[in-house]
Structure 1
Amino acid sequence: MKKTFSLSHPKKQPERMVEAIKHELKKYMKRERNKVLPKDTNYWAFDCQFGNTEDEATEVRPGDFNKLIDAAVEAGQTEFYVEIVARADFRAAKPKAVEDDETFEG
């Protein structure tokens, strides 16, 4: 998803526009996570960017969208750019801690 969202609409309140945008982003990410994973992968990773325009967009974490959108609204921006690209990735399991057989006496 590469999209420039506008916060101005002749018939909608800006607060409702913000809620609709946040909902659309969550819905898109959920839809991508529900797709079948290719072989040798075990989760969907998201490469995300956010900015005033496509040229000014910087890399962000997927969980930061709500804060960034709220900050853009408070700054008085009328539009912003969001890019979310899903990619299949493999996450290795964390190694388990090795426990000593000796008992601790103390």
Structure 2
Amino acid sequence: MKKIFPLEEENKNSDRVVDALKHEIRKYLKRERNKKLPEGAPFWIFECRMGQKEESAQEVLVQDLISTIDKAHAEKWGECYIEIIAKPAKNLKNKEEAQ
């Protein structure tokens, strides 16, 4: 998912807009986690980036994404760019056998 989300909308409470954004992100992550994994991959890895614009987006851990959205809302950003890319993890079993 690569998308620019508004954090403030006319005629809407900004807290509700941010809550809707968080809900959409959680729903996307759940949907991606439920997809069938490729052979040999134990779980999904999410590469996340967030910023005011696509060019200024920085890497963020998936577990810190919601708190980063809260910080952006506290700093009164008008909109934010969020990129979440799901990738299958490498096979952990082969790493253990190699050691």
TM-score (norm 1): 0.83
Runs of 5+ consecutive residues of structure 2 not aligned to the other structure: none
1:34-53, CA deviations, whole angstroms, 9 ceiling, x for partnerless residues?
Answer: 00001111100001001110
Moved more, 84-93 or 10-19: 84-93
Please identify which structure carries the higher helix content: 2
SS at match of 1:86: strand
SS at match of 1:49: strand
The equivalent residue for 1:27 is 27
The equivalent residue for 1:73 is 73
The reply to whether residue 88 of structure 1 matches residue 88 of structure 2 is yes
* Mapped partners of 1:74, 1:41: distance in 2: 38
1:49-89, CA deviations, whole angstroms, 9 ceiling, x for partnerless residues?
Answer: 01110000011100111211111111111101100000011
The percentage of counterpart residues that share the same residue type is 42
What RMSD in Å do the two structures reach over aligned CA positions? 1.5
TM-score (norm 2): 0.88
CA-CA distance at 1:29 after TM superposition: 0.5
One-letter amino acid of the counterpart of residue 46, structure 1: F
The reply to whether residue 16 of structure 1 matches residue 16 of structure 2 is yes
* Mapped partners of 1:79, 1:50: distance in 2: 11
* Mapped partners of 2:12, 2:63: distance in 1: 26
The equivalent residue for 1:46 is 46
One-letter amino acid of the counterpart of residue 3, structure 2: K
Runs of 5+ consecutive residues of structure 1 not aligned to the other structure: 96-106
SS at match of 2:71: helix
Larger Rg: 1
Is the CA contact 1:43–1:91 (under 8 Å) kept in the aligned structure 2?
Answer: no
SS at match of 1:84: strand
Is the CA contact 1:4–1:80 (under 8 Å) kept in the aligned structure 2?
Answer: yes
